[in-house]
A and B are shown apart, each in its own frame.
Chain A
Amino acid sequence: KQEVTQIPAALSVPEGENLVLNCSFTDSAIYNLQWFRQDPGKGLTSLLLIQSSQREQTSGRLNASLDKSSGRSTLYIAASQPGDSATYLCAVPLDQTGANNLFFGTGTRLTVIP
């Protein structure tokens, strides 16, 4: 069974700071990892998808890394802005043929203070 842990549960930073969110998973037999953000009362917005063969993926101010062997991923946010305030979730599927059910962490709630 896959378990996903995200630390910290909550983070508050002043605007402009760079920050790192952490995600760990117990079963390294994954074929990708996906980072999402969720705004209050809204659905999940996909941010980045890293394939198991990749070590990192970048989109704008976001950079996600994946160390599959150690069961860890990090999401780096550069020059944080108040609009980055949201809950960030990581999710992994198990490497089973035909399966793509995602296991989610409980998320990190980020607050960027103007």
Chain B
Amino acid sequence: EAGVTQFPSHSVIEKGQTVTLRCDPISGHDNLYWYRRVMGKEIKFLLHFVKESKQDESGMPNNRFLAERTGGTYSTLKVQPAELEDSGVYFCASSLTTYNEQFFGPGTRLTVL
């Protein structure tokens, strides 16, 4: 069974540009999470989907970040416009139910120049 996949693995963009990250959860997992790690800091929660609904988006840093999960399958995280402080590694995770073990993808390394 395929694990959580993320695309792209790396993205380098200039300040002010737009970037869209994609996450494909494990098939059948209703719960999908986004996290990020900025340089030297711990991994921090961004938001949680249950199917296509946003269950918790308390970790989203500001309105430049937009997450969607149309149809309750894959999810996208758009950053528009990107700022220097958005650089980091963005992880996606999924779980079968809300209180189950979370499985993480390999992450997308975003560099904003």
Which residues of A are in contact with B by a Cβ distance under 8 Å? 4, 31-32, 34, 36, 42-46, 49, 89, 91, 93, 98-107
Contact = CB atoms under 8 A, between A and B. Distances in A.
Contact of B102 (A99, A100, A103): A100
Contacts of B95: 100
B99 A100 contact: yes
Contacts of B55: 98-99
A98 B104 contact: no
Contact of B101 (A4, A34, A103, A107): A34
B25 interface: no
Contacts of B42: 4, 104-107
Given A44-B91, A89-B43, A103-B45, A98 B98 contact: yes
A100 B44 contact: no
A102 B33 CA distance: 10
B35 A102 contact: yes
A19 B59 CA distance: 34
A4 B35 CA distance: 16
Given A44-B91, A102-B45, A31 B106 contact: no
